[in-house]
Amino acid sequence: MVPSRDRPDPSAPEFYTRIARAYDALARRGPFVATLRRALADALDPATNATVVEFGCGTGANRPYVEDRLGADGTYVGVDFAPGVLHVARERGRERERERDEGDRDGGSGTGAAGHFVRGDATRPPLRPDAVDACCGAFVVGMLPEPAAAVREWADLVGPGGRIALLDLARTTRSGWRALNPAFDLFVRAGSPPGTAKSLELSPATVQDERVAAAHRALREACADVEYRTLLGGFARVSAGTVE
């Protein structure tokens, strides 16, 4: 989950490409993931005709939850730096579109929202500012060496009136749940590219905590009407707001 302190490890895209299938299974069917992804989409609350960009989209597990809130004129764009996860994301996207088309033929109703996946860097969005209405990131800011700067870049991208939402995991501060923090530390270490722990001055979980806190603080500074909530005993944090 946490590449090196100075910059994303050169092996990170290859690492996530290698584990793309396993990651996809966890991202879609892991415990509580549906609850978390729905919470992110609810917090983002895009307009039905919005163009929504998800940074660090992985295999596109958030796409259905976002698209369910978009109408026929809405667009979802997923951005990720790992070609392997984007390959899986496009496969899942084609499956979703086939199911939607079959439902339309059978008299069902779908959102009809368009969807695209693009390889790119979350810190240097490969998009025109005038083309994006909202953006979100799930479990991504903990991977970025300068998460606050990235969130400010996203705020500039959507502009005043645009929406931003973040979903992240970090160690809990709740008294009844802190005993599980060591297990969370192992989870973060296991999900990081090889060599990550040796490249950091602090533990991967500590670095992730700091990066998550910095990103959510930057969102609060950039946005009005900020909503913040925690889930899963305080291990999951969701922030969203409208850029001022």
List pLDDT tens digits, range 166-184.
999 999 999 999 999 999 9
Q: Which band of pLDDT confidence, cut at 50, 70 and 90, is reported for residue 198?
A: low
Backbone phi and psi for residue 9, each to the nearest 5 degrees, phi listed first:
-55, 135
Q: Quick check: pTM over 0.75?
A: yes
Higher pLDDT, 99 or 1: 99
Residue 5, pLDDT > 50, answer no
CA 136, 138, 143, 148 torsion: positive or negative?
Answer: positive
Q: What is the mean predicted confidence (pLDDT) over 204-211? A: 96
Distance of CA 222 to the CA centre of its chain: 18
Edge to edge, the sheet with strand 134-138 lists 114-119, 75-80, 51-55, 134-138, 163-169, 236-243, 223-231
- In this prediction, residue 9 carries a pLDDT of 47
Give the pLDDT confidence of 40-98 residue by residue, as tens digits: 999 999 999 999 999 999 999 999 999 999 998 999 999 999 999 999 999 998 998 88
- In this prediction, residue 6 carries a pLDDT of 43
Give the pLDDT confidence of 121-169 residue by residue, as tens digits: 999 998 988 899 999 999 999 999 999 999 999 999 999 999 999 999 9
Instruction: Please check whether residue 46 is in contact with residue 132, taking contact to mean a CB–CB distance below 8 angstroms.
Output: no
Give the pLDDT confidence of 29-40 residue by residue, as tens digits: 999 999 999 999
